[in-house]
Structures are given as C-alpha cells and as structure tokens.
Structure 1
Amino acid sequence: MPYDPIILITQDNVRIRIYGNGGNMVITHTSTLQTQNEGYEPVDLDENGKTQKPRLPSTKLQEIRAFYTEYYDIIHPLFFIFLSFWTRFYLISLSDIVLWDEAHFGKFASHYIKQEFYFDVHPPLGKMLIALAALLAGYDGTFDFTSGTKYPENVNYTFMRMFLASFGAWMVPLAYFTAIELDFSQHAVILVTLMVLLDTAYLCISRFILLDSMLLFFTFTTVFCMVKFHNQRYESFSIDWWLWLIMTGVSIGCVSSIKWVGLFTTALVGLYTIEDLWDKFGDLSIPKSIYLKHWIARIICLIILPILIYMLSFSIHFSILINSGPGDAQMSSLFQAGLIGNDFAENPLELAYGSKVTIKNMGYGGGLLHSHVQTYPGGSEQQQVTCYHHKDSNNEWIIEKQREAQTNDNETEVEFVVHKDTIRLLHVNTGRNLHSHQVAAPVTKSQWEVSGYGNDTLGDINDYWVIEVIDDLYTKTDHIRSLTTRIRFRHKLLGCYLRAANAILPQWGFKQIEVSCDKYNNPGDSFTHWNIERHWNDKLPNGGISNYKSKFLHDFWHLNVAMYTTNNALVPDPDKEDILASTPRQWPIVEVGLRMCSWADDVVKFYLLGNPVVWWSGTASLIIFTFALLYYLIRRQRKYKDFAPAQWSHFLYVGKVCGIGWLLHYLPFCIMGRVTYLHHYFPALYFSILMAAFMLDHFTISCKPITKNIIFGVNYSLIIMVFWYFKDIAFGINYPASELKSRKWLSTWNIVD
C-alpha cells in the first residue's frame, strides 16, 4: 500500500524525505535547511532535486503549520465530526408531519411509555432507544403517530429526530477511523469519510424517527472493532486484544438486536474468525493449549456475549411491557395471562360442555382459530376457517356434544370435557360447525380442507372431532384446563388432525393463516397442538391468576419464531401495487429513489436517493476488484511478482472485508421472497464505499504525490458538487417538485410528478 511521505529533520538541519514501498523505506532525497537566523525559511528540493526558491519568513504561518502538523490526527476527525453533526441536524425540524415509517416507530415508543405489549417483526433494542428519546423529550405517549398528520405541540419531534440523527452522525468518524485501521493512505481515508458524510441517502435516512441510523451505526462499529481486533493479532491475549474482541462481540449483539439484517454483519465476523482460526491451526509454532484458548475466547466473546445481549434486550422488553396491548395475540396464552389488564385470570379452570372459548394454536407464531362469512373461492366453496392473530368475536366457538348424544338440561349441573371425548365446535357468530372432508386444502394441497358447515341442527359426521389431551403444564389430568393443557383435535371420520402451520392464504383469505386437517399423525408437531385461551361459562368459578405463569425462555423463543414467520409473510402482493418497493437489481446502479411522504406542492418533501457518484463508484469498484483479483491470480500462477508478500496479504485482506461484506449484505435480498425496499441496501453500500477508496488507493500507488493529489482531488470535488446539487432531497424540498426536473438524471427516478 502507498504511504504519504515521512519527513525527518536531523539535528544538523538535514531534511530526509522517506516513502513506503512494499514494506521497504526508500529515501528519495535530502536537503540542507537554512537557519531562521539567516532570514529565510528552510530550503527544500523539488521533485527533480533542484533547490526551490526561498520564501520570506512568515512566523505566524509557520506557527499555524506547526500546530496543524502536531495535531493533524485530532484536527481532521474533529472537522469531519463537526460537519457530520451539522449536516444531520440542519433543518431537521423543517417538516412537522409524521413521515414514512415514523408512524410505526412512533407508535412503538407510545406503547413503551404506556407499557402496553405490542408486536413487531424487529428485535426490541432500537425501538427501546426510540422510546428513550421520546421519554427524554417529555412525550407522554398520547399521540397516535398517524402518517401525514402534524405533530402536536406536546410532542418534541425535533429532539427525537436529533437523538436518532446522532447515531447517523457518528457513522462518519467511524468510517474515518476504520479506513485508517485498514491501512488506507490519508487520501483514501478522506475519500471514505466524504462518501459517508455526503451520501444523500445516508443523510436523509438518519434524520427521522427510524431504526436505520442505529442499524448502520452498529454495523459500522462492528466492522471497526473487527478491524481493530485484527490489528492486534500479533499481541494475542493482551489488554487491547481482549478489549477489541469483547467490543466486537458487544457490537454484534447490538446490531442483531436492532434488526435481523445485523446477522449479515455477524456472518462477516464469523467468516473472518473461521479463517483466522484456520490459519492458526496451520501455525505449528502455536502450542495446542494456546490454540484452545483462542477458540474459548472467541466462543465466549463472539457467540455467548452477543446472544446474552440479544436476550437481555428481550428481557428488558418484557419487563417494560407489563400491560395488555395490541400485540397480545402473537404471544402464548400463558404469557398473556400475566399481563395487567388481561382478564384470562377470570377463565374457569376446566372446560365443560356449553363453554364458549377461543382456541389458540401452540405452534410458534400461531394464531386463534377463526371463521368468517366469506367462503373459499374453490374447493368445497364452504365458509372459510383460518387462524387469525387479532382478537375479535369471530374467534369464538361453543363446545357442543354430538347431535345424537343426550344433552344435560340441568342449569346448575356441569359436565366436563375429558380426554378422548367426541365434541362439536360451533362458531358463535355464523352458527357453522367446524368441519373437514376429503377436499384438498387451498394452499397445502396434500392435506384436507377445513371449513364451516351446517348449523346447530344441520350437519353430518364430518362435524365431529375427538379431543386428545397431550399434557398439562402443571398437573396430570384427563380434563382440559384453560391455558395450560395442550390438546389435539382428531377428525372422527378421517383420522386427520387440525393444523395451522403458518401457510398464508391469498388475498381472498385476507392473508390469514390456513387451517387444514393433517393426514399424518405426528404427535410432536406443535402446529397440531392447541390450548383453550379464553373461556366463558357462567356455571363455573374463575380459575385465578396463580394458576397461570409463563417462563422467559419459552416467551423469548415464541416471540422470535413469531417475528420470523411474520417477516416471511411480508411477500409482494400481485394484486396490489407497492410504489415504494424496489428490487435488489435496481439498488447498486441507483435506478430508483423512494418518496418518503406526500408529493403535494405545499408539503415539505424528502426523496430517498443516494449520491450517484458515491453509489456508482462503489459498484464500479466491486467489479474492478473482481477483475483485478483474477488478473493478479493469473499472473501469480505464471510466477510474476506484482506484490511483496505483505502487500499481497493486505490486498486480499481488505478485498475480503469489503467484497465479502458487500455480498453478505446484498445477496440475501436477491433470494428472499419478502418485499424489499431501497434502504435494505444501505449496509451493503458501506462496503462498496470502502472498496471504492481501496481500489483508487491501489491504482495510484505508483503515482507522484502531485498526480495523486489531483486524482483524489477530482473525486473529492465530484462528491461535494453532486451532493450540493442534490442536497434538497435530503434537507427537505419546500417548493414544487416540478422545479426538480434538472435533477431527474434517470427516467426511473420519480422525483418529479
């Protein structure tokens, strides 16, 4: 890697200019200095070795230069930190309406402040930090954060936005120091910093009440800590070695606790660690006991520590949200019973005939057995039966006997339901019976359809189900207890089992979960397990809260699986056009932008679009690196020596960090089925930025200093000029969008009406 010249001045006033070249220090020329007593500044030699014309003394200028030289390592990052905070905070309150996903994350802050349980597809750490910002801003949790509505005076949205923007601001110095740790030249360090500082997409996304600035911040910290740890590799088990290993683990835990996209960053650290341990395995000078310690240290710091941080975020989440809220139905019935304001404690303890109930699927992410008046568009065309996560009266069923069985007419006598009883489930709102028959299920074609059929007097044997007790959490019994007893429903005629395995119905089924009858008797399949959640029966006393307690590990696992299944359900809907969605193919070439709000003339508008110079150069550098690597590999095979061993090792190391980091953060979105948006590319963008600076640094290694200054200077200028030209899309467009026609560089940018 190239280095800027080092200038040494000896006691005899001899200036020695030294350049780094492949690990060798090369003295290019020396010059004798005049003393200041002679009235001149020191004499220097030009690039050809000729004496430059002496200049008249300037004591003040010399003092400034001396100060700058002495404190260079402090002045530069402080300057960029100042610019970073200024750009992130400038006009941050210009728009006083709820923009884009502020509607979601603002609501989550409200739930934390009111301590109401809610459900979301992302881990809780970032949302708790947003709630902290709201709390510090004096917010009382009463605003509903409806998209497009104006913030009331009692909501200090400016402070909340600034709190989140500070995470985006710290990305800039992190990029600066990461580039230094990657051993970039000072030119390349400044280039990386400018690209992060002046990318309009990074700037725009950081200025609102969203998770993305925190996700990017912890992505940056993880990369920085990993690189710092790598640079301690020759001082194993030193204090600094332990510090940066632990900090890498902490960063992994934090980034994974913001969004699951952080797992891609975790994968990068994992691959680096595997390679590192493999290299050490081949180093026969390392004793076996020391090698084992390397494994133990990494397992503790990079696996156990991040998992503990991730679990801790959920523990805090559960400890805050102690009141019943809109997300209750995503959790197990036992968990809900422990929430304040939930009336599950009023459930009668044991199930009896005539009881009205709601029935919860115990598979992770399972919902409530549900039916509604709409019918299947195919198959039997009978009434739909689904699983639904939201509580309403369509989830209510009555436990009835078989039609031919003797019904107890005594108003006070109770007959309990027991193991192996044959029952009929009657839907309260529509009067239909839970029914199955030899018709293929709408999604899971290999199983039988479950429908609503007949009524209390009309029906057949296909309405009958045998209830089987699996076990009870607290006792051994043949009776069915509310919340704690696991049960299965076996169809009396077909022998199949009632099942809801998170298969999503099309739009005609309102994207609810398919309920089918499984032909295979698999007792371990949790999606055939159910429990009684709500239970009403005037003949029976309340059970009491002491009978219903949940365990953290079960709740933690249940919520994570529910998050996973819900995330997978976020697939593109062919029946609906999502104008905000985009495809991964469009991101690296900046083919699309994203309107973050209404595009009316009287609204302050924001357009999420990257700085084209930054994005295009990053993408180009990835391609160039690929071809350069192939070129060098072919030449090495032919025994050409383009690099010293240390230089080749460094080239591969930086290339792997940038290239594999980009692939890990980009390729998963190309193969996943869920709907994707432009901001999903932002973590990958960082690695392309690092690659762009690295490639430019690499190809200017043999340039003269003045040539290198010009090349990098042109790049700096382009980034700054394009940023200035597009700055309004990030700071706020408070004029008609029609005035932005000149900024529509690509026809696919919907920046103009």
Structure 2
Amino acid sequence: MAETELRKRPAAKATTVNGQPESAKPEFEKPVATFTEDADPQAKNKIPKKKNSFNVVPYIALLLTIASVFTRVYRLGRADFVVWDEAHFGKFASFYIKRSFYFDVHPPLGKTLLGASGLFVGYNGSFPFESGKQYPPELNYTGMRAFCSLIGSLMVPLGFYTGLQLKMSILASTFLATMVMLDVALLSISRFILLDSLLLFFTALSAYCLVVFRNYQKTEPLSTRWHIWMAYTGISIGCCLSVKWVGLFVIALVGLNTLEDLWVMLGDLKMPVRTYARHWIVRIAFLILLPAAVYVFSFWLHFTILNESGEGDAQMSSLFQANLQGNNFHENPISIAYGSKISIKNGARGGGLLHSHIQTYPPGASGSEQQQVTCYHHKDQNNEWIVMTPAEEDMPAENEIKYLYEGDTIRLQHDQTKKLLHSHPLVAPVSKAHWEVSGYGNLSIPDPNDLWVVEIVKDGRLQLEGEKREIRSLTTRFALRHKALGCLLHSGESKNLPEWGFKQAEVYCDKTADVKNPGNLWNVEQHWNSLLPPGGAAAYPQSFWRDFIDLNIAMWQANNALTPDPTKEPDQLTSKPHQWPIMQVGLRMCGWGDNELKYFLLGNPVVWIGSTVALVVFAAVCFVYLVRAQRRCGDWKNEDELDDFMFAGKVGVLGWFLHYLPFFIMGRVMYLHHYFPALYFAIILFAFVVDHLAKRTGKVLHAVILLAFTAGVVAVFVQFSDFVFGMDGPATQWAHLKWISTWNVFDGVAGSVGAALSGDFGGAGSGSA
C-alpha cells in the first residue's frame, strides 16, 4: 500500500535579528510517496491515469455547421430569375469564363472565384444576367449559388471558435454562432451569386486568425505556431482586400492591434534589441508584404485570364489594350499623318476618349451653347477625329503622306458632325476657373480659336537624337496647347457633366497649362490611314506594374463617382449609415408584384438591435470597472483576465467602429449590405457582453440567460424566414411583420430593382463598396 508522509525536518539554527535571537521555525518537506514491501513491484513505474473527459466542442461545431449549410441551401433554386446583384456579379463571372476583359470598381479575387464556380458547374458564359431575367434550363444557377452559400456557411463555425478563443463560454460561443447563422440579412446575402458572402467569410476568417495569433503571442511568442498563425492572418486580410476595398478596415484592425503589441514590447527593458527588431521584421513580412502579395497576385491572375478584348477596355491605357487579343490596335499605322482619322485618349488614370455629339451646351450652362465636347469611356464613332492642317489649302494631295511632328499646329475635325475642336474665353460649364471647349465652325471658315499646337511630353519608343520627333500611335504622350489662349486641353480629373451631358467627363482648356498634370496629356489610341502600313503588335510594349497601377486608380475614380442618383435608385433602395444599427430600413431584392416571388433584405431584430445595445452596455461596463479600479476594488483575478476582457472588447468595438464610421465621410451611394462586416463584429461583442454579465449570476442562471437569448434569435428568425426563403403571393400577407413603419414590406412604390440595375455604375450592384 502506498503511503504519504509529512516529515518534519530538524530545526534550523537560531538566527539573530538586530542582535536579538529569533526562534527557528520547523520546516516541512513536500509530500513524499513511500511504498511498503508488499506493494506491487511495478507500482513505482505506473502513472495514475486521468479520466478522459468528453469534449463537446467539436460536436457542437459540427451541428452548427450542418444547420448553417441547411439554412443556406434550403430552397436555393426556388428563384429561377436573376436576383439583386446577381445582375452584376453573375455577368462578371461570365467574363472570366469567356476571358473577356471588363472593368469594375472592386478588386478581382472574389469575382474570379465566382467565375471558377460557374466553370465548375458547366456554365459557358453566354447568359447576359439581366436583372429579373429568367435563367435558361441549361444554366446551373443553383450550383453557382451553392458555391457562395457554402462559403457563407463557414462563417458559423468560425464565429463559434472565435468566441472560444476570446475566452467565452461554450454556450456564449454557440449563441454567437447562432446569431451569425440565423440573422435574416446575413443569411439572405449568402444565398445568391454575390461578393458579399465571400467578403464576410474572409472577414470572419481574419478575425479568427487575429485572435488565435494574439493568444500565441501571449503564450508562445516567436514560436513556429505563432509564425504560422501570423501568416494565416496575413493571407486572410489580403483576401479581404482582394474581394472588396472595405478589407482595408480589417487590415486597420490587425494593424492597430500589432502597433499596440509593439508599443508594449518597447517598454519591456528585459527584451533584447535584436528580439524586438525581429518582432518588427516578421510583422512587416507577414502582415504587410504578404497581404500585398495576395492583392497583387489577384490582379496578375485577373490580367492572365482576361486576355481577350471586352467591354471594359476603354477604362485602361491604350498600351494595355494593345496587348489584348481581339482588338485591332496592331493594325494602327505607327506614325500619324495629316488626313489620318484617330481616336484620342486622355492620359489621366482611367481617362476617357475625346468625344463629341450633336447635343449642345444648354442655356445657362454655357455662354456659347455650342456643340458639347466630352470624354467618354466606351468605344463609339463619336470618338473619331480627323487631323487637319491650319489652312485647308495646306492639306497634302490625295496620295501624298505628310507626317505630324512635334510643334505642328493642327485642327481636329469631328468625323461625325464635321465640327472643329474649339476653345474661347468663355467659362467651362462645370469647372468655372477654366475655358470652355466645344465643337464649332467648319473647314471653310478659318477661326484662330480652332488651332492647337502639339507638344510631345513623353514617348515610349526611342527616337534618334537630333531627328524631328513624330507623333506616334499609343506610345507618344502629348499636350494640345490652344494657340490663341495658351491653355491646355484637359479632362480625366475634372468633374462629370450633369444629366444634360449624359454624365460624361467634362473637357475644358486648363489655364494652368501644367504639362505634368496627367489630365493635360493625350495619346492616339486608334489610327486609320489607308496610305500607311500597320505597326504590328510588337510595336507596343507591355508592363504589369503599369497596368496594375492604371487599373487601381481607375477603380478608385469610378468608386468615387458612384454618387446617389434618384432616377436610378427607385423604391428606397439606398440608405444612410445612421439607419443601419437601429434597423430602420430594409431592401427589396427583386420585383414586388403580387405574382412575383419576393425577397426582402432585413436583419433579425434581436441580433441587430441587441448588438447595437451591447455597444452601449460595454461602454457602461468599462466605465463602472474604471470607477471601481479607482476605488481599489478587486474585480479581476489577475492581469491576464483583465487583458482578455479588454482584448475581446477591442475586437468587437474597434472592428465595428472601423467598418462602420468611415461610411459617414463617404459621398458615394450606399446600401444596407454595407453594414454587414461591421455587424459581424457587433455580434461578437453582443455575445461577449451577455456572457460576461451573465457569469456573475451563477452557473444555472448564466446558462438560462444564454439559452433564452439564443431561443429569442431562433424564434424571431422563424417569424421572418419567409423574407429569406421567398414570399409567394401579395406582400400584404406579411403586413404583420412590419414592426417598424419605415420597413417597406408591403406598401409604398411597388417597383422593381431592374431600373436601378440598368445603369452603368449608378445601379445597385456596382454601387457596392
């Protein structure tokens, strides 16, 4: 039999304190195990076995995942027509399958994945994805939706494990996952061919990786697993940024947390300088360079796949377009000659083509009321101009070639209307500080205000030293200086014209005459002259980095141009940021006729209102703890417990703040789904606050409170489930669910989103951030 004894050690010698003897205290040895002779001789080598406790966590995660998949695929193919942003993102998927270049305001990774989903289910890319149009039998739209749905369903287990990593209880983590699974809005957005389900997945993945990475930082800094999870974090935030630019807010969340860590380490005087420097190096590598590499790679993949000329060509530089298959730029004669017909592209990033049409400037907008001159981003015969000499009698003979050189004075005649490019000392219609540019006159009436001097600023092809420099197709960047006024023809960075100018880019004559301004530079894009030989594709060099920068700047400019347009946003489709947290608005995702299947984008009130209240409650709790700390109340067992509390709060509050507050300073069009990433972080905080406060009531009441909140989410979802799975019949059947007067469930204008989706960039889909 094993026995344990506490043996008293001999008393230590007496010591003296301040010259006085101090009695020695007996010391006790630690418990020592002894064995009798009749004990099992092998007992010394036996290790007491621990009873294996049942781990319920993976089983809960599995059940949540199964339930999440079910909610997202149930009746997935019921709507056999194009719903909401499927009109845009389905179309973009088609372009990848056809390898046809297009332009959009979002980075390419998410749309590349949508294209891959279409390819996987056998889609050939031929369907136009017009809003409300019925899908053809041969298109497996359910399979494409299932790809987004399955990706979206993974948010649920991610939410569950994020809660556990934030030291929430199992019940609180289950509550968190249930909110993610059964929020009506989050569920709705994941059931169609949309980017938002991919964005939300990568946002949830980034949050989870950040939390795990932080926990390893506390326990195993600079360990292998710490490096691995930092790499996961970098990849996930890079994917967020490569789906939509709101991924920048996730990067900001990770970046602020990283800066805080480095600031705390700076105060650790025991840490060697080399170790501190290593922390900087690995964070720069994994949290800056790695996400940047993911972002750049998505564009390399984008350019590699989309190698065919398509409808988005005009947003890119002429040299980029020259390397796409299917255009005729290789037929361009290299050197421009008088009598050549050309199209002229503005040199600003995303600049358009010099354009004119028969419409004139309206009274009040312009003193001249002459023919409009604009910049247009699509190929059109109204973009074509003929290079003319200053006087008609100086034009070369019919079969004679006279090249255009630097310093030449020219006139540009609009091929369709025969008007001449003209400027005069009248203010431009929008940019009042500069002179108007118009189409005016004809070749038979000489006018000094029709004359422009060609000035070469840069040429991508070398010319021999000392030779007179020619104006060449695509490679020559030049300015057009008005001979009488001295100003430069400008566009690109100017504002768009109002409706009377079809919202095309304004063209004016820039008084500053700065040749360093890209908006004052132009190049010949297409060139027709039967007397000159074609230049061939080899004449136009290609550069990935030039194209990468061009596309990103064009995306930024197009995104900023997405201002609200009441004529294209019927039926209260748009909303304002202040309406989102209090769930003041919903959104009709399709037509609203009595005989149409309807989907209403609206949140679960328990989730949305509860998460908003949790933000206020958390602030109040922090204030109470601050006051109690000042009174020296011991609310925390140790510093780690306080640190865990503050970290969970920072993830929830800061994540919500960074994803929500920026929308207040944006002038672009906004929709309800822009709140979803912020909502996810508010949900995390909601579960954490309920768990934290409920723990102080005892185990039983803690469980009852969390189960009650979870049951509330489920019950409300059941009430609102038709909004997700389809409303068949007159919308008045759901009048009882109009809990707030501003919810446009059944009354108001019964329009469709079709009109909103019909615009180039003013519609619902392209307005997504």
The secondary structure found in structure 2 opposite 1:359 is strand
Separation in 2 of the partners of 1:289 and 1:351? 61
2:145 maps to which of 161, 164, 181 = 161
Separation in 1 of the partners of 2:541 and 2:266? 49
1:80 maps to which of 64, 71, 77 = 64
Equivalent residues in 2 for 1:426-437, closer than 5 Å: 426-437=413-424
Q: Tell me what 2:157 maps to.
A: 173
Structure 1: stretches of 5+ with no match in the other structure: 1-10, 12-65
Equivalent residues in 2 for 1:57-72, closer than 5 Å: 70-72=54-56
2:441 maps to which of 454, 473, 478 = 454
Equivalent residues in 2 for 1:406-485, closer than 5 Å: 406-458=393-445, 460-476=447-463, 478-485=469-476
Q: Deviations over 1:551-603 (max 9, x none)?
A: 00000110111111001000012555442111111110111111111112222
Q: Tell me what 1:750 maps to.
A: 744
Partners of 1:502 and 1:565 within 8 A in 2? no
Q: Tell me what 2:500 maps to.
A: 508
Q: Post-superposition shift, 1:385?
A: 1.1
1:691 aligns with 2:685: yes
Q: Post-superposition shift, 1:265?
A: 0.8
Q: Tell me what 2:194 maps to.
A: 210
* Residue type of the alignment partner of 1:262: G
Greater mean alpha carbon deviation, residues 439-448 or residues 318-327: 439-448
Partners of 1:437 and 1:448 within 8 A in 2? yes
1:562 aligns with 2:547: no
1:623 aligns with 2:595: no
Q: Deviations over 1:224-250 (max 9, x none)?
A: 001100000131221110110000000
1:739 maps to which of 733, 736, 749 = 733
Separation in 2 of the partners of 1:207 and 1:574? 28
2:328 maps to which of 340, 343, 352 = 343
Q: Post-superposition shift, 1:635?
A: 3.9
2:374 maps to which of 386, 397, 400 = 386
Separation in 1 of the partners of 2:641 and 2:547? 51
Equivalent residues in 2 for 1:13-52, closer than 5 Å: none
The secondary structure found in structure 2 opposite 1:140 is coil
Q: Post-superposition shift, 1:639?
A: 4.2
* Residue type of the alignment partner of 2:450: D
Distance verdict in 2 for CA 1:609–1:574, change over 3 Å? closer
Q: Tell me what 2:79 maps to.
A: 95
1:492 maps to which of 451, 458, 483 = 483
1:265 maps to which of 250, 253, 262 = 250
1:632 aligns with 2:619: no
Separation in 2 of the partners of 1:459 and 1:577? 47
Q: Post-superposition shift, 1:364?
A: 0.5
Q: Post-superposition shift, 1:646?
A: 2.7
Q: Number of paired residues?
A: 687
Partners of 2:87 and 2:131 within 8 A in 1? yes
Q: Post-superposition shift, 1:628?
A: 2.5
Q: Tell me what 1:37 maps to.
A: none
1:536 aligns with 2:521: no
Q: Tell me what 2:103 maps to.
A: 119
Equivalent residues in 2 for 1:574-653, closer than 5 Å: 574=566, 577-578=569-570, 579-643=572-636, 644-653=638-647
Distance verdict in 2 for CA 1:456–1:639, change over 3 Å? farther
Greater mean alpha carbon deviation, residues 388-397 or residues 102-111: 102-111
Q: Post-superposition shift, 1:379?
A: 2.0
Q: Post-superposition shift, 1:444?
A: 2.0
Q: Tell me what 2:701 maps to.
A: 707
Q: Deviations over 1:184-205 (max 9, x none)?
A: 1222111101110110111110
With structure 2 as the length reference, what TM-score do the two structures score? 0.87
Q: Deviations over 1:664-719 (max 9, x none)?
A: 10011111000000000000001110111111122123211121122112211111
Separation in 2 of the partners of 1:629 and 1:434? 67
Q: Tell me what 2:6 maps to.
A: none
Partners of 1:105 and 1:127 within 8 A in 2? yes
Distance verdict in 2 for CA 1:409–1:687, change over 3 Å? closer
Separation in 1 of the partners of 2:482 and 2:655? 52
Q: Post-superposition shift, 1:406?
A: 3.9
1:729 maps to which of 705, 723, 745 = 723
Distance verdict in 2 for CA 1:574–1:209, change over 3 Å? closer
Separation in 2 of the partners of 1:750 and 1:408? 66
Partners of 1:365 and 1:502 within 8 A in 2? no
Q: Tell me what 1:526 maps to.
A: 518
The secondary structure found in structure 2 opposite 1:670 is helix
Q: Post-superposition shift, 1:409?
A: 4.5
Q: Post-superposition shift, 1:502?
A: 4.3
Partners of 1:219 and 1:683 within 8 A in 2? yes
1:361 aligns with 2:346: yes
Greater mean alpha carbon deviation, residues 481-490 or residues 381-390: 381-390
Separation in 2 of the partners of 1:633 and 1:433? 74
Q: Deviations over 1:144-163 (max 9, x none)?
A: 11111111111001111111
Separation in 2 of the partners of 1:443 and 1:179? 53
The secondary structure found in structure 2 opposite 1:358 is strand
* Residue type of the alignment partner of 1:569: A
Q: Deviations over 1:287-313 (max 9, x none)?
A: 110111111101111111111111111
Q: Post-superposition shift, 1:642?
A: 3.4
Q: Tell me what 2:30 maps to.
A: none
1:231 maps to which of 195, 202, 215 = 215
Separation in 1 of the partners of 2:642 and 2:227? 27
Partners of 1:588 and 1:616 within 8 A in 2? yes
1:552 aligns with 2:544: yes
The secondary structure found in structure 1 opposite 2:727 is coil
Q: CA RMSD in A?
A: 1.6
Q: Post-superposition shift, 1:459?
A: 5.1
Partners of 2:453 and 2:480 within 8 A in 1? yes
Q: Post-superposition shift, 1:549?
A: 2.2
Separation in 1 of the partners of 2:542 and 2:346? 16
The secondary structure found in structure 2 opposite 1:676 is coil
Separation in 2 of the partners of 1:459 and 1:609? 64
Q: Post-superposition shift, 1:108?
A: 1.1
Separation in 2 of the partners of 1:637 and 1:531? 69
Separation in 2 of the partners of 1:606 and 1:696? 32
Separation in 1 of the partners of 2:335 and 2:631? 81
The secondary structure found in structure 2 opposite 1:130 is helix
Structure 2: stretches of 5+ with no match in the other structure: 4-50, 748-769
* Residue type of the alignment partner of 1:471: K
Partners of 1:483 and 1:533 within 8 A in 2? yes
* Residue type of the alignment partner of 1:499: H
The secondary structure found in structure 1 opposite 2:326 is coil
Distance verdict in 2 for CA 1:737–1:417, change over 3 Å? same
* Residue type of the alignment partner of 2:685: M
Q: Tell me what 2:390 maps to.
A: 402
Q: Post-superposition shift, 1:443?
A: 2.2
Separation in 1 of the partners of 2:457 and 2:696? 74
Distance verdict in 2 for CA 1:437–1:206, change over 3 Å? same
Partners of 2:431 and 2:494 within 8 A in 1? no
